[in-house]
Amino acid sequence: MMSRGRHRRRKRGRVLRAALAGTALSLTAAATIVSASQATVGEDPGALKPLASAADTDPLRLREDLVPERTLDRLAEEMGTPVGVGAVLDSADHTLRPASGCTAAERTALPVEPAATRAYCWDEADTEGWQPGAVTTSGDADDDGWWGGNRAILSGWSGSDASGASAAGAQDLARVAFVDANDLGRLSYTWALLAVPVDGGRDYRALSSQVSGMVWYQDKLLVTADGGKGTALYVYDMDRVQRATVAGAAVGRVRGGWSAHGNRWVLPAVGSYRLTGGACDTDSDAGVPCLGGISLDRSSRPDSLAVSERAGEDDDRPTRLWRYSFSTDPERAGLLATDSAGRVHADEAYRTKAAGIGGVLSYQEVGAARPDWYLAGTGAGRGTLWRQNSEGAGATECGVDETRRCWSAHTLSLSYWGALGEVWSQSGRALFALPLAAVDRSLGGE
């Protein structure tokens, strides 16, 4: 079995001050006014349709494949003792700009209604040619919102932007920004390259994939990856971060040490989950699905991973939503629950008529009869944020014509930070957050 880095967590038990809840930013006025062509009200997707037959749920089954412990140990012996999140955050050498430092163009990536209560912008020179993807936080990792002595945000990026251009030599690379969020008024970060051990741990290669989803749960980071041969969930151990020793463009073992395309840190995968039915198909909602957005649902019992299907570009067909339970075995911290054959089964599944889904979030209020699914629909200009359940659907509305196109255009990820009561996401060079309660207040058709 692979080693389990026992993380000693110091429960904070801190009372959240009003300052942490944030105040609404004066960003809506700076956002581009929704044009008449963008203001068309999207079709109401109605209620979720439950999927319960074996024909519907069997294509959602995963197979777990863990990297042998000896492979990980050999890599650690070669590269040096792995470190944890705290050591990575201590090396943060870049700073996110606060909302006041975002340009007018960058602010157009923010939602119109409800407005972001926190917003930050990435350095253009540091992210040019990179495409923003998923967001997860220490609020996912631990229900008190802290990991050890730190509050942190992880932001995933892929080595090509929306136009297909990539930073020099970065095509097909994937990296994660470790963001120090101890002071939410000043965020600093550093980069770690996502990698996969090869040759029995004697080397590593780049993940070579677009990243559309990320969840940090306990000491594991799950990443949705699409490498052109079907999608998978790669697993990373947050206590197994390795230090790059050579500052070069190469990836892997090089003369004099280890290189990570100029990144200071490397995260080698410790396992993966793949759909048992083979390659996925973005043109069908009946066969093997392509994994899209993912998020953590702490309101389920046990905690679960919510998943949305990735459809083809400009595809308006119905898509699927489902969830997998996390293991409750202390020896399998952060891993999904499996049967005796190492397979992961979907606990529940639905079909939605909401099209173009990016980020997904599932949450059930205490006392509620059913969970709500929040679906970030992407689109030209602006997207739509739906809340859907087995009884119906509503969308956030804005403007005098109550258009539903109020959301950010390209949010591939939604992450609920329970201790703050906030939903976090990113679009373009903007990282932002807003209260989940504000989303619910903005929903039309209530």
Secondary structure of 420-439 in HEC code, one letter for each residue = CCEEEEEECCEEEEEEHHHH
* CB neighbour class for 33 (10 Å; exposed up to 12, middle 13-18, buried from 19): exposed
Contacts of 315 (CB under 8 A, 6+ apart): 282, 283, 355, 356
What is the rounded distance in angstroms from the CA atom of residue 286 to the CA atom of residue 60?
10
What is the rounded distance in angstroms from the CA atom of residue 342 to the CA atom of residue 335?
11
- Please count the other Cβ atoms lying within 10 Å of the Cβ belonging to residue 13: 7
Using alpha carbons only, give the angle 9, 361, 365 rounded to the nearest 5 degrees.
Answer: 80
What is the rounded distance in angstroms from the CA atom of residue 315 to the CA atom of residue 353?
11
Distances (CA, A) of 291 to 55, 64, 111, 176, 324: 18, 15, 25, 19, 13
Using alpha carbons only, give the angle 416, 376, 189 rounded to the nearest 5 degrees.
Answer: 50
* CB neighbour class for 201 (10 Å; exposed up to 12, middle 13-18, buried from 19): buried
> Is this prediction's pTM over 0.85?
yes
Beta bridge partners of 194: 267
pLDDT at 6: 37
Tokens of 413: 């990820």
Tokens of 359: 């980020």
Tokens of 346: 């979907």
Contacts of 211 (CB under 8 A, 6+ apart): 133, 134, 156, 157, 158, 174, 194, 223, 224, 225
Per-residue pLDDT of the chain (446 residues; tens, 9 = 90+): 343 333 433 334 333 333 333 444 545 443 433 333 333 335 789 999 999 999 999 999 999 999 999 999 999 999 999 999 999 999 999 999 999 999 999 999 999 999 999 999 999 999 988 999 999 999 999 999 999 999 999 999 998 654 554 455 667 799 999 999 999 999 999 999 999 999 999 999 999 888 889 999 999 999 998 765 568 999 999 999 999 999 989 999 999 999 999 999 999 999 999 999 988 877 766 689 999 999 999 999 999 999 999 876 566 778 899 999 999 999 999 999 999 999 999 999 999 998 888 899 999 999 888 999 999 987 666 889 999 999 999 999 887 677 888 898 888 899 999 999 999 999 999 999 999 999 999 986 44
What is the rounded distance in angstroms from the CA atom of residue 165 to the CA atom of residue 302?
41
For residue 418, give the amino acid letter.
G
pLDDT at 443: 87
